[in-house]
Structure 1
Amino acid sequence: MVRRLSERQQAVLFAAVLLTAIGGLYAMTQLLQPAPVQVRIVGSPTLDVRGEGWSIRYEPASTINNTAFGILSEASAQLGFPLTYATFQIPQGVFVTAINGSVNGEGGRYWQYWVNGVYGDVAADHKPLHDDDVVLWSFSASQDGM
């Protein structure tokens, strides 16, 4: 004869299974996070920022801000234009929400970036730069169907 678990035993078993599943999912999300970009000197990068009716160009001789976001943030500090972004933990990364007063969603346009003509496929703070890279931030209709 099979002995049935009491309601209390069932609840404890359910809680144990649930906590194990949550712990496993959390561990998996941590394993899937992108690795941070190692800081290194990048020579002669170019940053172009194109908003509606305005543009900014920044061409440092070199920088240690060697990501698509890092060079944008550096340019913001050096040239004095406002930059707004949100930082996310899962998945890790920054999401640029406004540059120089142009805010995501205005007129169906959003801030997006390209490196050497290739559309950004990861969060901008996870996109490493190399010598002579050209980074374009454009306030335009979404490329990913938003």
Structure 2
Amino acid sequence: MCQKNLTGDEVKRSIVIASVLVIALASAVLGFYFIKSNSGNETITATISIDFGNETIWKYCNITVDGENATVFDFLLAAAKNGSFDVKYTYYGQYDSYLVDSIAGVVNGRDNKYWQYWINGVYGMVGADKQPVENGDIIEWKFTEFS
């Protein structure tokens, strides 16, 4: 094959095309990075109440948690921070989940009662750290006997 010498116009056109391609590629990469870095930054707001089973109920309205994957467990920890009380919990690797052992010093097993949660009036069937929360949800933690 013979080598062809490019004219001045062909060189300019090649430079313009290469520049446009570089700018388009850079825009695509930056756009993807921006979308990825901002995903999960949604703030979720919910109400959480904690019923100690002795007519004492603490209620926390408009608790917010960052992240679209916010869980019932996250909201309990946020309420604890807001209300300055402790939550004790244990991680169980075989279930890849946490169990709430006590809230504000009230420990599971006392009077055959345990901490259980409901979300929008429905009993929680998965670990609190696996149950997603949506804006406006109502979370109830109750220290009660199993039904």
TM-score range (shorter-chain normalised) is: 0.5 to 0.7
Identical positions, percent: 29
Match for residue 127 of structure 2?
123
Match for residue 63 of structure 1?
65
Give the deviation of 1:100 after TM superposition. Answer: 1.1
Other structure's SS at 2:81 match: helix
Contact 1:42 1:129 in 2 (8 A): no
Match for residue 102 of structure 1?
106
- Aligned equivalents of 1:42, 1:96: Cα separation in 2: 24
* Counterpart residue identity of residue 120, structure 2: N
**1:6-85 map, 5 Å:** 39=40, 41-53=42-54, 54-60=56-62, 62-64=64-66, 66-85=70-89
Contact 2:49 2:57 in 1 (8 A): yes
Match for residue 13 of structure 2?
none
Q: TM-score, normalised by structure 1?
A: 0.66
Contact 1:115 1:136 in 2 (8 A): yes
Q: CA RMSD in A?
A: 1.9
- Aligned equivalents of 1:134, 1:67: Cα separation in 2: 12
Contact 1:110 1:142 in 2 (8 A): yes
Other structure's SS at 2:111 match: helix
**Unaligned regions of 5+ residues in structure 2, if any?**
1-38
Give the total of aligned pairs. 106
* Counterpart residue identity of residue 46, structure 2: P
2:141 to 134, 137, 144: 137
**After the TM superposition, which parts of structure 1 deviate over 4 Å for at least 4 consecutive aligned residues?**
none
**Unaligned regions of 5+ residues in structure 1, if any?**
1-37
Distance 1:39 1:125, change over 3 A: farther
Which of the pair has more CA radius of gyration? 2
Give the deviation of 1:63 after TM superposition. Answer: 2.1
- Aligned equivalents of 1:124, 1:134: Cα separation in 2: 14
